[in-house]
Amino acid sequence: MKSSVISSLVCVLLIQGRVMADEDAWMTLSQQFATMNAEIQALKAWTSQLTAILNKTVAFHAWGSTNPVQATALGNIILNHAATNIGNAFDTLTGVFSAPVSGLYDFQASVVSYDRGANKYVHGAIYVDDAIQAIGISDNRHGYYGQATFKTVVHVKAGQKVYVKNTDNKVSQYYDSLGSPHTTFSGFLIRAD
């Protein structure tokens, strides 16, 4: 009888040990599951953010609504009519594009001199913040309207400013009209970071 009690006790202790080991294993698995679930939720949020960035469409095309468009010496060429402004990142009051997302962008500008005749030419350049990215000169000295078109593909960080500026040290007048845009500035996001 004693041996059967001892055997029973040993069985109970073994079962208790196994139950406790199973409880520890279950707790460990439960913690691992919670950690993995948190990681899955973080990955879902990250995937959602990446999808939003990849689906982000940013594009604008602007020109002046008055003829001539005038720019001060070394000042911005303000084109106040945006025919396209997807993402609302182009400001028609300042002529400045503010990048809503970091990424690779394509920008293009065209300038046409308003006046014709001797010594009539205009300068223009695309800037990212204060750095020239592309430059052009429209030469109208021969009695016809000359046009300069210049383009850049550049990485821009969110919040950086992109604009077209008169690079000449004199006031310049650029040919344009709402019905017939000649002096223009446009850009679009190629790929977001």
**Cα–Cα dist 28/103, whole Å:** 43
Give me the domain span that covers residue 93: 59-192
Instruction: Look at residue 21 in the predicted model and tell me its pLDDT.
Output: 66
CA 59/CA 70 separation, integer angstroms: 24
Name 126's bridge partners: 134, 164
Total domains in the fold of the chain: 2
Residue with tokens 């008055």: 66
User: H or E segment at 66?
Assistant: none
**What CATH number corresponds to the domain at position 176?**
2.60.120.40
Residue 74 and residue 167 in one domain = yes
Return the bridge partners of 96, or none.
Answer: 91, 163
**Does the pTM exceed 0.75?**
no
Segment (H or E) for 1: none
Residues 76 and 48 in one domain: no
Beta-ladder partners of 148: 111
Question: Which pLDDT does position 143 carry in this prediction?
Answer: 67
Tokens of 67: 């003829």
Q: Are residues 163 and 99 in the same domain?
A: yes
End-to-end CA distance of the chain: 78
| 50 and 64 co-located in one domain | no
| Positions of the chain with pLDDT lower than 70, given as ranges | 1-3, 5-26, 29, 33, 45, 47-55, 115-120, 142-144, 171-179
